[in-house]
Amino acid sequence: MDDQESFRLQLPVMQFYEYKADMMGRDPVKIIKEGVAKTLVFYYPFAGRVREGFGRKLFVECTGEGILFIEANADVSLHQFHDYCSLQPPFPCMDQLLYDVPNSDGILDSPLLLIQVTRLKCGGFIFAISFNHTMCDGYGIVQFMRAIAEMAHGAHAPSVLPVWQRTVLNARDPPIVTYPHHEYDQVEDTNTTKIALNDMVHRSFFFGPTEISTIRKTLPIHLRHCSTFELLSAYIWRLRTISLQLRPKEEVRFLCLVNLRFKFNSLPSGYYGNAFAFPAAVTTADKLCQNPLGYAIELVKKAKAEMTEEYIKSVADLMVIKGRPHCTAIGSFLVSDLKKVGFGEVDFGWGKPIYGGLTMGGVGRIPGFISYFIPFNNRVGEKGIVMPICLPTPVMQRFVIELDALLKVKQPIGIENHKRITNIKSAL
């Protein structure tokens, strides 16, 4: 499961921590660095390097070469980030808050973790980490970060000991594909599905109880009990497709990411490898855009229901038979629900972060067809979900117009608002 092409990238995480009077005089860089060193004794594969063997099979050589750790200072206060972007992606100065060390961002033969701790002049700090996705998923990296926090608090061992055991998700012998895995279809690119990577805009959108209720009321009675994940995923998928203005008969896919840790309880506690699959809902652009929202929700629900233990085994077998392919990115949209992963619970001694989670841009830029549900409190303390979206500039403009027209609300952050914060960059 881990060494498929889809996971061969670096993912960035940002955690913002406020000043805490109880920690006055204590250096977050020193405390976290010591915690990392102690944690790597237990997570020693992270100190090694990924190699590639026969059939593109990945393995970790436990060389003990270590990880990269950067100590940084910024003449900036946390409120300067908070006031302008409400601490939601995209963050300004990503290339300085998580420095892209030259020749270090490869998947093979490169450090598996890059950690940067940046002290702020207000006494707060930013913890940033970039990790090799073939080593772990969101739950896995949070498990590692929590272990660092425990060691920083003086623990002698993590409360949850790490478990490697990647063989539990190995292919069968002989491998046999038992499902039609449309998430790995090889699709020919077209003029309308090609995305101008040099003209991409990153923006976040907040969905609180009011927005979610407004969308839910548009559904027929029999669908109003659908989950928030199903509702918002279908809504954004449909709206995104409308904005892309694809040809009517072009195939579009929604990749429904489902984590098997909790669905089947079949993995050992402490397992930190990738443990998810993303069954695909497939339709055409005209059917998705012209039908009501309920059509998209039914497709999402169907894809979600396909996730079984046999489905996971079939994916592992397909990796061997088809040479570990990349998932279908052309015409696809994938959503990962991070609400319960636990980024916002990691406490190094300064309390919980005021923002914690995956971000976009900088080291290991997340592909534009992927988005996340991130738990978030807006400026007035309202709890909801933030979704980072990445689209070409003209597509984003159409997306925002459609969204505002449907919800009749003003989003908390706009493209122009984000540009105003660039003057901070010179101070970092």
* Residues with catalytic roles: 133, 347
For residues 14 and 315, give the distance between their C-alpha atoms in angstroms, rounded to a whole number: 31
The SS3 of residue 217 is coil
Task: List, edge to edge, every strand of the sheet that includes 113-120.
Answer: 68-74, 113-120, 125-132, 10-17, 355-358
DSSP notation for 350-407: S-S-SEEEE--SSTTPPPTTEEEEEEEE-TT--EEEEEEEEEEHHHHHHHHHHHHHHH
For residues 286 and 48, give the distance between their C-alpha atoms in angstroms, rounded to a whole number: 49
Which runs of consecutive H residues, i.e. helices, occur in 20-106?
28-42, 78-85, 94-97
Residue type, 336: S
Pick from 181, 157, 128: which is nearest to 39 by CA? Answer: 157
Query: In this structure, what is the dihedral angle of CA atoms 37, 39, 41, 47, given to the nearest 10 degrees?
Result: -70
**Dihedral class, residue 303 (left if φ above 0, else alpha if ψ from -120 to 50, else beta):** alpha
Pick from 65, 56, 69: which is nearest to 28 by CA? Answer: 69
Pick from 134, 136, 66: which is nearest to 101 by CA? Answer: 66
Helix (H) or strand (E) holding 54: none
For residues 78 and 384, give the distance between their C-alpha atoms in angstroms, rounded to a whole number: 22
For residues 362 and 93, give the distance between their C-alpha atoms in angstroms, rounded to a whole number: 8
Residue type, 16: F
Pick from 222, 262, 23, 30: which is nearest to 137 by CA? Answer: 262
For residues 17 and 26, give the distance between their C-alpha atoms in angstroms, rounded to a whole number: 14
